[in-house]
Amino acid sequence: MTGRIFGRAHDPAPPVAVRAEGSTIWDADGRAYLDAAGGAIVVGVGHGRRSIADVMAAQAARLSYAHGSAFTTERTEAYAAAIGPHLPMDDPRLYPVSGGSEAIETALKMARAYHLARGEKDRWIVIGRWSSYHGNTLGALDLSGRRSLRRPYEGWLGRFRHVSAAYPYRAGLPGSNALGDAEELAAELDRAIVAAEPGTVAAFVAEPIVGATLAAAVPPDGYWPAIAEVCRRHGVLLIADEVMTGFGRTGRWFGVDHWGVRPDILA
């Protein structure tokens, strides 16, 4: 098929998807594909769910959009009330966005706004991890530690800092930027915070289980509680990127639930 879509794949051209049901997608030639990943990890309940499509259609017919600076809506309030009890937070508040990259960038802005409201205007430094993925918008890409994605845009990046990946499988290998011991990883984060000027680090951001870059890499035992303690001690906000691990994908409502950690912000 030719057209005016600037696609991600060009040679060969991608097949044309025409319909989907459950975990199967069919192309224009009738060929079936097993969608084992739920698209970009976004179709967890399967394709073609009539019950969901009916609700979406009814809402679009009744009220398709209301600007958040002027209105709330019944559906938004109902959603927040339903999901709130499952969040690993005390008295949580929700800020709906459109996707993962936007969620991460909003979390960063919230962290900055929090410190400004407390009179800590010098807290702007954000620390992420190597071998992480937080999105493809510019801020989320800068936070990400995936070198192949960063390389073409290095001239635009460099605002954020990075510590080692929590990846025992590759720990210590040349070029891996990975460590495998929870205490060692926590000590490294502590040193990175101390190395910055006092009161300048705003947040530490990490995926509970790395998904897109390291393919379901579980951190060593004790990692998340140790990291949380370092952040609390230095007044640094802990941001959990649950875009891939949230809503039951790891067997718990959220990835951090496996370690009993309560982040300050959850994306």
pLDDT at 59 over 90: yes
Report domain extents, the chain: 17-57, 65-96, 97-266
pLDDT at 1 over 60: no
CA 36, distance to chain mean position in Å, is: 20
The model's pTM is 0.94
* Residue from 111, 103, 95, 87 nearest 201 by CA: 111
- The CA distance from 53 to 47, in Å, is 10
Mean pLDDT, residues 182-197: 97
- The CA distance from 97 to 34, in Å, is 29
Residue 63: partners with Cβ closer than 8 Å, 6 or more residues away = 73
Least confident residue range of 39-48, 107-116, 251-260: 39-48
Which CATH architecture is the domain 97-266 placed in?
3-Layer(aba) Sandwich (3.40)
Q: At 248, list the tokens.
A: 């039951």
pLDDT at 32 over 60: yes
Mean pLDDT, residues 238-260: 97
- The CA distance from 108 to 113, in Å, is 9
- Residue 55: pLDDT band (50, 70, 90) is very high
Average pLDDT in the chain: 95
Mean pLDDT, residues 123-130: 98
